[in-house]
Structure 1
Amino acid sequence: MTTVGIRDVARLAGVSVTTVSHVLNETPHTRVADETRDRVRDAAATLGYGPNLVAQALRTRRSGLVGLLSEEIATTPHAGRIILGAQEAARAHGLTLVIVSAERGNNAEAHRADIQALLDRQVDAVLYATMYHRNIAVPANLVDVPAVLIDATEGTGALPSVVPDERGGAVAAVRHLAEAGHRRIAFLNNDDDVPATHGRLAGYRQVLSEYGIPFDELLVGASPSEPAEGYALAKEILSLQRPTAVFCYNDRMAMGAYRAARELGLSIPDDLSIVGFDNQEIIAANLFPALTTVALPHYEMGVWALETAIGMFADGAERPPGPFEPVLLPCPLVPRDSVAPPRQP
């Protein structure tokens, strides 16, 4: 098999070897006409020739690799959306994403080893994604390379981070219910001490205040955010304090609320409107009726993190000194069929 070289590309394109090198390696500060660039790229594609990535890495001191450390990739659709966003953004910049699946938890020492595995492969940057929005302890070796946190913050603001606007998402959900005419709106909250728990409660209370609705602690409960616990909590609140609508911390709790409503003889949305959070489509789109919910911006967070990382290692870039404030990305409402105006007495 004959090996195709840069001279073959130059001959087919009718240009010099130097011009081919500048075009294919995207050498900065070189002036090559667009028509010539297109001719060189077409010739390279025809011959199946690409730049020597090893030589390019030695020259630029960049590998073209970006590492992404994500918790429990195999068990959550959230990680998949983050990876897809980062991967598509990386591809658009000619970079390759290297993915490591880490154990869930705040074990900084265990994650330090995972990060070191990426650093040993000379990645240009590391994206560190957690399974759910929380504050973390950053492994010490993460400061050795441009790094961005996804769905996480760390107390000192040493690293750029991107997280969902939990409060804004809750405002969108509860405002949707209030605009439909509901004034007795229950909230099934999570009982973990995490940003989403506090942010979503704050958003709920904000909308009540906007509409002049008194806060009623009997309409608010907290439990683990799973279907069985959502069912028990919804059944308790619906049996004692009959609201016309329920806002749920997540879609899993909403699934439990559907079951409680059915057992109490309530029709959704005629007797009871329900809104979830997370937009886990395997749940939300397949409940009957389909669940109105709020989407978490996992794909968008992956894109933002990759673009931010590029800005930290691009030619001439200097690592910003910080401290950094977390960037909030919006959580949009996804209307489906579980909300209607309250039934008139």
Structure 2
Amino acid sequence: MARKSSTPTMWEVAERAGVSQATVSLVLNNVGGSRVAEATKVRVLDAVEELGFRTNAFAKSLRSGKSGMIGFISDEVASAPFAGKLLKGSQLCAWEAGNVILSVDTFNEPELEAAAIDMMLSYRVQGVVYASMYHRVVDVPAALAGIPTVVVNAQDRAGLVSSVFPDEELGGYTATKHLIGAGHTRIGMINIQPPDSDLPAGIGRLAGYRRALSEAGIEQDPRLLRYGSGIVEDGFDLTRDLWNEGDRPTAIFAGNDRTAWGSYRALESLGLHAPDDCSIVGFDNQDTLAPYLDPGLTTVALPYEQMARRAVELLLAAETPTQNPIECSLVRRGSVASAKVPA
């Protein structure tokens, strides 16, 4: 004797509710104008819950052309400790709109990326969020040309799809203006990339630093600018280098939180302490680092969840491609103090 399937069928739902299978289908697919009585809908939904019935989503997608899924293709976002908030924001926004996220990290492997795109097309995803772990200019794969796509935490080089990315210049401006507001006029900056780099993060943050100084009427002193690579060791070495200048800075804008950590360590090695001897502002707001420095690091937060939400909204709206810079907000902690008045 064949074993009875443990998976409840639409026929069993209909039998439990005392209606036809057609009525069950109308209720589950929320067909407008079906004139199914409210009491009947309640009986059907109760039967669905009691039996644990689940619709065949793949079969439904074949009929309707809509799967209720949104693809999320990234380099290493899902496995990154802080950029993973991009995936979280996408999931939450998709869920609110009645969709789920189908996510793949490709680790920059072209073959894996091609396979991920093929899989998502076979599942008839409504569109694809193409994400990057860090802000850069990307080339959207040609295989996505026929499907709605939005780039997030990056910018589409060709401008054929919408891009959502952090407003790096405004972030650098906000960080520097905060130090100026505390009375500092000798403000050093340690950038996170060399002068010839084309990455938007360092370019934008430096431009914001310069704009804030210019707006405040503070002369830009090239001796206060250093170029690192965004690692703790560079923050350490370049802070000590700044300290060897004849007219030392009273504040430092570090291009990211790891660089700021290096600045903390450099001050300590000199018998100094932030913010008493030098105020420090970082960038990123890494939640595994910034709150736990001593004192807690004042920094500018990358808006991962806000970017992801905006990307999904644009994807579902299917609007004309646009550029969407998202504000990076200041997170105040204890690393900034008022500038000391010379004796």
Query: Which residue, out of 275, 298, 304, partners 2:304?
Result: 298
- Equivalent-residue separation in structure 1 for 2:122 and 2:158 (angstroms): 26
Q: 1:33 to 1:197 in 2, by over 3 A?
A: farther
* Kept after mapping to 2: 8 A contact 1:295/1:331: yes
Judged with a 3 Å threshold, the aligned counterparts in structure 2 of structure 1 residues 31 and 279 are, in CA distance, closer, same or farther, namely farther
- The aligned counterpart of 1:163 is 165
1:84 corresponds to 2:81 = no
- CA gap of 1:46–1:224, structure 2 versus 1, over 3 A, is same
CA distance in 2, matches of 1:42, 1:65: 26
Shift of 1:9: 4.8
Q: Deviations over 1:16-58 (max 9, x none)?
A: 7555434422335667788876665455334322333233212
> Which of the residues 268, 272, 278 maps onto 1:266?
272
Paired residues in the alignment total: 334
Structure 2 partner of 1:120: 122
Paired with 2:234 and 2:37, the residues of 1 have a C-alpha distance of: 65
Tell me the TM-score normalized by structure 1. Answer: 0.87
Alignment match, 2:54: 50
Q: Which stretch of structure 1 is more off in the superposition, 281-290 or 62-71?
A: 62-71
Q: Structure 1's 36 and 152: CA in aligned 2 closer, same or farther, altered over 3 A?
A: farther
SS in 1 for 2:288: helix
Q: In the superposition, relative to structure 1, how do residues 215 and 102 fare at CA in structure 2: closer, same or farther (>3 Å)?
A: same
1:196 correspondence with 2:201: yes
Aligned AA (1:231): F
Asked if 1:234 corresponds to 2:239, the answer is yes
- CA distance change for structure 1 residues 305 and 93 in 2, over 3 Å: closer, same or farther? same
5+ residue gaps, structure 1, are 313-319
In the alignment, does 2:233 pair up with 1:222?
no
Residues 161, 74 of structure 1: CA spacing in aligned structure 2 closer, same or farther, 3 A cutoff?
closer
The farther-off stretch of 290-299 and 2-11 is 2-11
Instruction: Pick one of 52, 65, 76 that aligns with 2:69.
Output: 65
Q: Distance in 1 between matches of 2:264 and 2:36?
A: 63
- In structure 2, the CA distance between the partners of 1:37 and 1:239, relative to structure 1 (3 Å rule), is farther
Alignment of 1:20-31 (within 5 A): 20-27=24-31
Unmatched segments (≥5 aa) in structure 2: none
Q: Is the 8 A contact 1:276 1:293 kept in 2?
A: yes
Whether 1:141 and 2:132 are equivalent positions in the alignment is no
1:278/1:294 contact within 8 Å kept: yes
TM-aligned CA deviation for residue 243 of structure 1: 0.9
Q: 1:336 to 1:4 in 2, by over 3 A?
A: same
Does the CA contact (< 8 Å) of 1:70 and 1:79 recur in 2?
no
1:133·1:195 contact (CA, 8 Å) conserved in 2? yes
1:331 to 314, 320, 328: 328
Question: Relative to 1, partners in 2 of residues 1:294 and 1:28: Cα closer, same or farther, differing over 3 Å?
Answer: farther
Secondary structure of the structure 1 residue equivalent to 2:71: strand
Equivalent position amino acid for 2:249 in 1: P
Q: In angstroms, what is the RMSD of aligned CA positions?
A: 2.6
Instruction: Say which SS state the counterpart of residue 282 (structure 1) adopts.
Output: coil
Q: After the TM superposition, which of the residue ranges 281-290 and 114-123 deviates more from structure 2? A: 114-123
SS of the aligned residue for 1:281 comes to coil
**TM-score, normalization: structure 2?**
0.87
**Deviation sequence 1:280-332 (CA, Å, 0-9, x none):** 111111111110111111112222222222223xxxxxxx5x5x332011111
Report deviation, 1:5.
Answer: 4.2
Structure 1 residues 181 and 260, CA gap change in structure 2 (3 angstroms): same
Residues 77, 132 of structure 2: 8 Å contact kept: no
- Please say which structure displays the higher CA radius of gyration: 2
Aligned counterparts of 2:280 and 2:39: Cα–Cα separation in 1: 57
Is the contact made by 1:73 and 1:80 (CA closer than 8 Å) also made in structure 2? yes
Contact map agreement 1:112 1:140 (CA 8 A) in 2: no
Mark the CA change 1:16 to 1:226 in structure 2 (over 3 Å): closer, same or farther: same
Q: 1:184 aligns with which of 183, 186, 208?
A: 186
Give, in whole Å, the separation in 2 of the partners of 1:135 and 1:75.
Answer: 21
For residues 179-199 of structure 1, give each alpha carbon's deviation from its aligned partner in whole angstroms, at most 9, with x where no partner exists: 111111111112232111111
Q: Which amino acid aligns with 2:114?
A: R
- CA distance in 1: counterparts of 2:38 and 2:329, whole angstroms: 40
